[in-house]
Structure 1
Amino acid sequence: MAPVSLGLSDDQRFALMKLRRNVSDLTRPDRDDQYLLRWLRARNYDPEAAEKMLRTSLQWREQWSVDQILSDWEPPEVLQKYFPSGICGYDKGGAPVIVVPFAGLDIWGLLHSATRSDFIRMTIKTLEHLLKVAQEQKQKHNATRAEVVAIIDMDGFSIRPYAWRPAGEAVIALIQMYEANYPEILKACYIINAPKVFSLAFSIVKPFLNDYTLRKISIYKNDPGKWKKALLDNIDPDELPVHFGGTMTDPGGDEQCTLKVKPGGRVPKSYYFKKVEKNGDDPFFNSSTTVVKKGDKLCLKFLVLEEGSMLKWEFSSEGHDIKFGILRRDEEGSETTTVPIHRVNCHLAAETGSLPCSGPATYTVVFDNTYSYLRSKKLHYSIEVKPPANGVLECDSLQ
């Protein structure tokens, strides 16, 4: 196939030619030059880095049977009913528009009604369907790229469920999966009705997003006049539900078009696994083990929502000490040190402690091994945020 030259510099065409040659063993009809350019753009036109990213992704696709997931995998009923998302229509260039009512994602309920693997597979299936539609639209409109548009509605969003660490970890894992395996498919992302606390949540996930993704994201507060205009600049009214400024309704007159866009919602307890353990015995809350490499540090972020919450920790290392400290960042982005970073002889005895916290804020627990140029440190740790005695996190009420 002749190289794609439109819009490419000489260096970029050379990088494409080199990548095409290096991955000639992966040739398939759907892996054309535009497909290869996705990986090159994601790696700043470094053909070696793009090749590594592509091969790693293809291994991931094989491990998760991604090529068969649309035809062979049937999601559990709870995910079919309560996983919020749906394609409402197409933008002016023909790209499919997916709407995600994020507040409808009952992360606690889903992770106690479906396995983590099935939760991941449901996300993969959603992305693969979206990409399939984008490919069909590309051919229909003779477009250059297969791209998608996302509208993420944060109306009614609460950060509270994501103070439960497995929930936050699940979201970050999905972001990392998307960035590693679906580069350059995003045409535009509109995050609308973002509450003030959203800036705190976004500051946590932002480091996991690549620059090329961040450039496509536009964030709007609860100002319908502004975000509706932005949507209508790129999406015709008849391709957009009335709720988002368009003219589309369901046959029954539903202005949010919930027949097309599943709203999610609270998962009924009847879907829960037969035995939902107490926090202390729940496998989600087991201690973790990692290696902090020499000259490196481990930073763990925790959301604190209420005054009087307690950040509790216990950790130990093998063979040698490590530095430990805690930082606090408030909604305005101001950062202070609550526990100065200092060396702890946790290789001699486990270190335990607690810290009264105020929120909303992000507390970052730091294990610092930058002072060690010779030794990596194996670390065992268990850290969690406990709400105040008179305060109950949403997940705590689900026994």
Structure 2
Amino acid sequence: MTLSEKNTLDKFRAQVMPLLKDSYMKHDTYLIRWLRARNFDINSAEAMLRQNLKWRRENAIDSMRTEDWSDIASDFHVTIDTYDKTGRPIGVIDIYDWDIRRAVIQGKGARMLRYLTSRVENITGQVYERQEQLGMTVTQIVVMGSAAGFNVIQHACPGCLPLWIQFALMIENYYPEILDELIVIDAPPAIQIVLEAIKPFITRFQIVDVNSRLKLKMLNSSFAPI
């Protein structure tokens, strides 16, 4: 962090402190996310943070970690109990098991999105817990997944794509800077349909395709790999 960025962070903290009710929100590592997402424009960062807090209140985000997900968890399995050598939480998903089309047909699209949001909330919560309870300098997460069996009908149908877009927008708007890498193995050509749909909404990620190993790498404000 440069001296100029540190001064901007101090001003931002003083400006938004009355809004922050949770201890983790008062840490530099949390506050700087909003500044980086808005190129250190304090007013824009505050507007983004205010929108986030409003979204959290209106959607009862704080209660998600104790919500009963037994009706949908087995259909969209996510494992979030693994860490890399630096201590970053790793989310592991098996996309091929996700029948998004069936969820849409059954009218469970919104429920699916809320469940996946709860998984994001859980793994990001682990970042803050590791900072506060263990004194670790963990600031981001990694998500890994297998796309073996990914197909257009089940995963990229016309009713499926809006859900992918909504999820991408949610990450971009409400969890800025938290995802360092999304690594997908066994990625078939059909997955490009989803990537093209969400690309306009993940402007700070670089898509790298190495054979069948798909990698989305977080970019900094200058659109260079971090």
Report if the CA contact (8 A) 2:99-2:155 is conserved: no
Q: 1:75 aligns with which of 59, 69, 75?
A: 69
SS in 2 for 1:191: strand
CA deviation vs aligned residue, 1:162-188 (integer Å, no higher than 9, x gap) = 553221101111110111111111132
Distance in 2 (CA, whole Å) between partners of 1:115 and 1:50 is: 33
CA deviation vs aligned residue, 1:203-259 (integer Å, no higher than 9, x gap) = 221111031xx14x6544336xx99xxxxxxxxxxxxxxxxxxxxxxxxxxxxxxxx
Counterpart position of 2:220? none
Report if the CA contact (8 A) 2:102-2:154 is conserved: no
> Given the two structures, how large is their TM-score scaled by the length of structure 2?
0.84
SS in 1 for 2:189: coil
Q: 2:196 corresponds to which letter in structure 1? A: S
Query: Which has a greater percent of strand?
Result: 1
Counterpart position of 1:11? 4
Going from structure 1 to structure 2, the CA distance change for 1:87 and 1:76 (only over 3 Å counts) comes to closer
CA deviation vs aligned residue, 1:187-212 (integer Å, no higher than 9, x gap) = 3221221222323431221111031x
Counterpart position of 1:42? 37
SS in 2 for 1:30: helix
Going from structure 1 to structure 2, the CA distance change for 1:74 and 1:63 (only over 3 Å counts) comes to same
Counterpart position of 2:14? 21
Going from structure 1 to structure 2, the CA distance change for 1:191 and 1:219 (only over 3 Å counts) comes to farther
1:30 aligns with 2:20: no
Q: Alignment length, in residue pairs?
A: 213
Distance in 1 (CA, whole Å) between partners of 2:53 and 2:116 is: 17
1:57 aligns with 2:52: yes
Calculate percent identity across the aligned residue pairs.
Answer: 27
Going from structure 1 to structure 2, the CA distance change for 1:220 and 1:136 (only over 3 Å counts) comes to farther
Gaps of 5+ in 2: 216-226
Distance in 2 (CA, whole Å) between partners of 1:139 and 1:48 is: 28
1:98 aligns with 2:88: no
Counterpart position of 2:117? 124
Counterpart position of 1:270? none
Q: 1:179 aligns with which of 151, 165, 172?
A: 172
SS in 1 for 2:24: coil
Which entry has the higher C-alpha Rg, 1 or 2?
1
State the Cα RMSD in Å: 2.3
Runs of 4+ in structure 1 off by over 6 angstroms are: none
Gaps of 5+ in 1: 1-7, 228-399
SS in 1 for 2:159: helix
